[in-house]
Amino acid sequence: MVPEIIDLEDLWRRCGGQPLAIVTMAGLVACNLNQPISYWEELGKLLPAREISNTRGAPNQVNSLTLDGVKRILDCCYNDLPGDVKTCLLYLGMFPKGCKISRKCVTRRWIAEGFVSRRHGLMEEEVAETYFNQLLRRKLIRPVDHSSNGRLKTFQAHDMVLDYIASKASEENFITVVGGHWMMPAPSGKVRRLSMQSTSRPKAAAGDYSTTRGMNLSQVRSLAAFGSLAQLPFQAFNNRIMQVLDFQGLKGFKNRHMKHICEMLVLKYLSLRGTDITEIPSRIGKLEYLETLDIRETDVVELPKDVKQLKRISSILGGNKHKNPRKGLRLPQEKSRKKKRRRTTDDDGMMKALRILSGIEINENTDVSGLHQLTELKKLTVYMLNVLDEYRADIFEQLLSSIEYLCSCGLQTLAINDEDSKFTQSLDKMSAAPRYLVALELSGKLVKPPEWIDKLLTLNKLTLSITILRTPTFEKLRSLPLLYSLTFSFSAVKQDQQDDIKEILEENKSTTDGEIFVPKGFQNLKLLRFFAPHIPKLGFSDNAMPVLETIEARFKAFEGLFGVDTLENLKGVHLREAKVGENGKEIADINEILVHDLKDSTEGLKAIVDHTFITY
């Protein structure tokens, strides 16, 4: 409840009807409801004066706020932030105007920069999340995209907020930006954090860094480069103090540049995501302070053995999930499995601090027994199991043992893409349910979910192969108390795979009179998704999912959703149909009829049904 001492109408008038000013002021009020009256009196002295127009017929019309007035309001919001959060806000000036910023990316960089430290028993990642949430609550940043678990994925800051941040950062010599849309004056002193952005001048050549001439770059500790840049002034940097390098999506970054990076001995954060790099040199092992290595969506297929020397590494992000089939990142390989492998000891330098290991491939040369030592691991995603038949029994037994042990140590996210080997069927052999799991993804031709799946009381996000889309599966899942999103998928590429999927789904339907039935339950589920070439007929019992808000489906053939008119909180049904050739015209016509019927059945609801075509 807003205290009576806060005159909200007066605050609104001081904002001059400017949406940005109103929103940020609302965030300031929401975060200070318990402040004494003296706080609000002082705030009132700092805000723009209330101006009311005397225009005939509109005696209470508020005059538009000047730019100086907006700046004064932003000053109030900025000055009200705790010191550490101010620093984190200023850091957003490193990103180009209009850029969608990854929440995880920016919080990892805050940690690497030293803006965040452990406090009150919280890890750095948890403290960074509280800082981020403060900025979000104060409306200084706005959400853009959310993950399927409901968590914010990307965000943006209003252009006027970014202009304000850039001005503040320049005044304090906190950030220096060259190129791009900012109009920052040249720094008067040493450059500490440098953001290099492709120039917007139409005749400028890629890699034009004339704006860095005359700058003292010897104290740069953080560098981010955006766009298409042909050159980087590595020789001007002091390798002994560089801590953050972010080259995500940078065109023109090649393997030869790694020679310079491997000399930056105190580097903590390195992102090469989406660059043209194809290998990581063994000298990466010299970066003993490295905490984050992001090589997703590159052509790097294997890590060198020296990566095990990275004692402080907490996140290794690799692989390419956007390719079909997915491409995984191989861990350091053993020379031969036929030779007797010596027992792994603490002296082997395994990455004991590792918390995230994402996008890996496991093959017959992978030392999966070493996973036992990663006791701090919170997230493990396996993009590919590529093991020859003669090695499967041995490797899969060790892998299962490792996963069970890691789950007992606190593993929270587990994802396994198993299109061929049927390893996921063996998860039933685990002696206890992985009680700490928050997210679980099991892909491939599953026959049924693990028996322990209904005991995952902390599970928030679940992705399963569509091959187990059956009524008994829904019955087993409906009692999960925290389940927020549920996805059934299969990314079949070849026609014979698609035919197999259709046959499996037909068999699944045959056990329940030709229709997969969704029983009542799912008290917390808000997102239901189906991504597969063929989606069978599904029927919902009366308000089966009482808080469900969104249904998403991507398909070639669709048999219809029935009973959705009983889903009281449904807000949207988003259907994406793959275009098919002339031979598929009959299927397309049937799809269109079923979609039309679905629209008719949801007319009385708030739900919006949209149907578009995609390239599948």
| 140-193: pLDDT as tens digits | 999 999 999 899 999 999 988 998 998 898 888 899 988 876 666 667 678 999
Q: How far is CA 158 from CA 334, 432, 575, in A?
A: 50, 48, 31
Average pLDDT of every residue of the chain = 85
Say yes or no to pLDDT of 540 above 50: yes
The pLDDT score that the predictor gives to residue 246 is 97
Residue the block writes with tokens 């990314």: 491
Task: Look at the alpha carbons of 467, 470, 473, 479 in this order and tell me if their dihedral is positive or negative.
Answer: positive
Q: What does the alpha-carbon distance between residue 228 and residue 197 come to, in Å, rounded to a whole number? A: 8
Say yes or no to pLDDT of 206 above 60: no
| 28-79: pLDDT as tens digits | 888 888 888 888 888 888 877 765 444 444 445 545 667 788 888 899 999 9
The pLDDT score that the predictor gives to residue 418 is 86
Nearest to 278 by CA among 305, 264, 292, 297: 297
* Region 503-524 average pLDDT: 87
Better-scored residue on pLDDT, 521 or 596: 521
612 Cβ partners below 8 Å, 6+ apart? Answer: 575, 576, 577
| 387-425: pLDDT as tens digits | 888 888 899 999 999 999 999 999 999 999 987 778 998
Q: What is the 3-state secondary structure (H, E, C) of 231-288?
A: CCCHHHCCCCCCCEEECCCCECCCHHHHHHHCCCCCCCEEECCCCCCCCCCHHHHHCC
The pLDDT score that the predictor gives to residue 439 is 97
| 425-434: pLDDT as tens digits | 899 999 999 9
In this prediction, residue 359 has a pLDDT band, given cuts at 50, 70 and 90, of very high
**Rg value, the chain, Cα:** 27
In this prediction, residue 325 has a pLDDT band, given cuts at 50, 70 and 90, of confident
The pLDDT score that the predictor gives to residue 188 is 66
Beta sheet of 101-102, edge-to-edge order: 101-102, 152-156, 142-146
Q: What does the alpha-carbon distance between residue 484 and residue 371 come to, in Å, rounded to a whole number? A: 29
Q: What does the alpha-carbon distance between residue 434 and residue 415 come to, in Å, rounded to a whole number? A: 13
DSSP H stretches of helix in 64-194: 67-79, 83-90, 103-113, 124-137, 159-171
Instruction: Delimit the domains of the chain by residue range.
Output: 8-50+64-160, 505-615
Q: What does the alpha-carbon distance between residue 84 and residue 124 come to, in Å, rounded to a whole number? A: 13
Which residues lie across from 223 on neighbouring strands? 194, 245
The pLDDT score that the predictor gives to residue 58 is 47
Amino acid at 325: P
For residues 359 and 416, the answer to whether their CB atoms sit within 8 Å is no
Single pTM value for the model: 0.89
Say yes or no to pLDDT of 555 above 60: yes
Least confident range from 341-345, 451-455, 610-614: namely 341-345
| 588-603: pLDDT as tens digits | 766 777 777 777 777 6
Q: What does the alpha-carbon distance between residue 349 and residue 308 come to, in Å, rounded to a whole number? A: 5
* Region 484-502 average pLDDT: 79
The pLDDT score that the predictor gives to residue 450 is 94
The pLDDT score that the predictor gives to residue 270 is 98
- 31: tokens are 């975060």
